[in-house]
C-alpha cells in the first residue's frame, strides 16, 4: 500500500508539472467565461428600448416583423429568429459569430447589432480556453494539447483525494485538510491551501473536468452512450456549439445560403401561434428561418435560462397544414442523449441555472489556485535547497570560544 501511494504521488506530481500551465490557463479563462451568456445579453441590449409603447400594445406578427427587417436590412443572412417572453426584450436575428440584429417587436424597427467589443472579448477568451489562442490552421494542435491536459487534470482530481486522505482520522488531521490555517510558512501554507481547496472543490470539479474530457474526445463522448447501453450516434452534423451556445466553427451560422430577402415567410404567423400554445410557460422561442416553402418549420422552445437542456424542446410543424411532424422534449430523448446533453452544460454549470454557473466559476478559480500551490510545492521540492539546521546556541558559543 505504501509503494502504491508513493507511485501515485509521483504520477500526480509529474502530471501536475507537465499539464499545470495549460490547466491554469483553462481555469482562469473558465472564470472569465462564468457569466458569458448574461453579460453578452446585457451588453447587446442595454441601450435598446424595446418596451411596449402602451400597456395594451401587442407584438407584431412574425411575418410582419420579418418583412420590416427585410426592408431595412435586405443584406443580412440570419439563421434564427428568437423572441423572449419578457415583453420588454427585443427579438434577435442571429448572425452566428457575427452576433445578432435586435429588433423592436412592437414597431419592427432595427435597433442595432449589439456590442461587438464584448463579443470579441469573449471570443478571444474562448479561443484561449479551447485552443490556447491558436490561429485557425493551428487549432487542431491547440485542441489536442488542451484535450490531453483535461485528461491529465481528471487524473489529478481523482488521485488528489486519495493522497490527502488522512491515514489516521483525528480532529487535527481533519482540520488540516478541510480548513485554512493562518501563520504558516510558505511551504506549509501552500500545502494547507492545496489540500483545503482540493477538499471543498473535489466533487463539482470532478464533474466540470469529466465533462471537459467528454467534450474533448469523441471516444469519451461515445462512452457516455455505451455506459447506458446505447449505440453512439453518427458524428455528422453542424458545428459543435461553444460555451455560449452559438456555433464556434467560424463565420455565420448556417441559414440555408441566402439573405433575408430569400426567406419564405408565408404562413409563419399561424405556425408561431401553434408553437406558443405547445408550451404555455415558455421563456423563449427560436424559429429556424426557412428558405423553402416545402420544408417543415422547426422551433426550439425553452422554459429555462438558455443553458438548461432539460428545459428545452424541439417542435417541427408541417408548413402547409400546421400539423405536428415531431415533438421532442428532453424527456423523449434516450438516456444517452440526455446524459450527453446534460454533461455539455454541466461543464459551464448552466445546467443548474445561475447557481450552477456561480459554482462552476468558483471551482474554476479554485483549480487555478490548486495549480499555483501545486507548482509552488513542486518548485520547492526540486529547486529550493533546504538550509542546514542551526546548532543550539550553547554549542555555537562553545565553538566560538
Q: What pTM, to 2 d.p., does this model score?
A: 0.85
pLDDT at 240: 45
pLDDT at 386: 63
Q: How many CB atoms lie within 10 A of CB 321?
A: 9
pLDDT at 256: 46
Which parts of the chain sit beneath pLDDT 70?
Answer: 97, 236-258, 385-401
What are the pLDDT digits (tens) for 216-266?
999 999 999 999 999 999 875 444 444 433 333 333 344 444 677 777 788
All cell numbers assigned to 56: 395594451
Per DSSP, which regions of 44-109 are E strands? 80-84, 91-94, 100-103
Using alpha carbons, list the distances in angstroms from residue 218 to 128, 147, 166, 239, 245.
21, 11, 37, 14, 19
pLDDT at 85: 95
pLDDT at 396: 46
- Dihedral-angle region of residue 132 (phi above 0 means left; psi in -120 to 50 means alpha; beta otherwise): left
Return d(Cα 119, Cα 97) in angstroms, integer.
8
Sign of CA dihedral 328, 334, 337, 338: positive
pLDDT at 236: 57
End-to-end Cα distance, the chain: 52
Using alpha carbons, list the distances in angstroms from residue 132 to 20, 125, 135, 256.
13, 9, 9, 32
pLDDT at 129: 97
pLDDT at 387: 59
pLDDT at 60: 96
Return d(Cα 29, Cα 149) in angstroms, integer.
15
Sign of CA dihedral 319, 332, 78, 86: positive
pLDDT at 385: 66
CB burial of residue 393 (10 Å; 0-12, 13-18, 19+): exposed
DSSP structure class, residue 230: -
Amino acid at each position: 500500500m505504501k509503494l502504491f501511494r508513493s507511485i501515485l504521488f509521483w504520477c500526480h506530481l509529474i502530471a501536475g508539472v507537465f499539464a499545470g500551465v495549460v490547466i491554469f490557463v483553462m481555469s482562469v479563462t473558465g472564470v472569465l467565461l462564468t457569466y458569458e451568456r448574461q453579460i453578452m445579453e446585457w451588453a447587446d441590449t442595454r441601450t435598446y428600448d424595446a418596451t411596449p409603447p402602451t400597456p395594451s400594445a401587442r407584438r407584431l406578427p412574425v411575418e410582419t416583423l420579418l418583412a420590416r427587417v427585410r426592408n431595412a436590412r435586405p443584406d443580412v443572412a440570419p439563421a434564427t429568429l428568437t423572441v423572449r417572453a419578457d415583453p420588454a426584450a427585443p427579438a434577435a436575428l442571429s448572425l452566428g459569430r457575427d452576433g445578432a440584429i435586435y429588433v423592436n417587436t412592437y414597431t419592427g424597427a432595427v435597433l442595432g447589432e449589439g456590442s461587438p467589443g464584448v463579443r470579441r472579448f469573449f471570443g478571444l477568451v474562448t479561443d484561449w480556453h479551447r485552443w490556447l489562442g491558436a490561429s485557425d490552421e493551428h487549432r487542431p494542435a491547440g485542441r489536442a494539447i488542451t484535450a490531453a491536459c483535461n485528461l491529465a487534470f481528471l487524473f489529478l482530481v481523482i488521485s488528489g483525494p486519495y493522497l490527502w486522505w488522512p491515514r489516521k482520522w483525528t480532529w487535527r488531521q481533519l482540520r488540516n485538510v478541510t480548513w485554512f490555517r493562518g501563520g504558516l510558512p510558505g511551504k506549509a501554507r501552500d500545502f494547507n491551501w492545496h489540500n483545503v481547496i482540493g477538499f471543498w472543490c473535489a466533487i463539482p470539479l470532478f464533474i466540470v473536468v469529466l465533462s471537459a474530457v467528454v467534450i474533448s474526445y469523441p471516444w469519451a463522448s461515445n462512452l457516455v452512450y455505451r455506459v447506458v447501453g446505447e449505440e453512439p450516434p453518427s458524428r455528422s452534423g453542424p458545428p459543435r456549439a461553444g460555451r455560449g451556445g452559438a456555433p464556434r466553427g467560424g463565420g455565420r451560422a448556417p441559414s440555408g445560403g441566402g439573405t433575408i430577402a430569400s426567406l419564405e415567410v408565408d404562413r409563419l404567423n399561424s405556425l408561431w401561434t401553434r408553437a406558443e400554445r405547445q408550451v404555455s410557460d415558455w421563456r423563449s422561442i427560436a424559429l429556424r428561418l426557412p428558405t423553402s416553402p416545402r420544408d417543415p418549420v422547426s422551433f426550439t422552445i425553452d422554459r429555462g435560462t438558455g443553458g438548461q437542456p432539460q428545459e428545452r424542446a424541439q417542435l417541427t410543424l408541417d408548413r402547409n397544414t400546421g400539423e405536428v411532424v415531431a415533438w421532442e422534449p428532453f424527456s423523449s430523448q434516450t438516456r444517452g442523449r440526455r446524459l450527453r446533453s446534460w454533461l455539455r452544460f454541466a461543464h459551464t454549470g448552466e445546467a443548474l441555472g445561475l447557481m450552477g454557473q456561480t459554482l462552476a466559476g468558483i471551482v474554476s478559480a479554485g483549480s487555478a489556485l490548486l495549480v499555483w500551490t501545486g507548482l509552488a510545492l513542486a518548485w520547492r521540492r526540486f529547486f529550493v535547497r533546504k538550509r542546514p539546521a542551526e546548532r543550539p546556541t550553547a554549542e555555537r558559543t562553545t565553538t566560538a570560544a
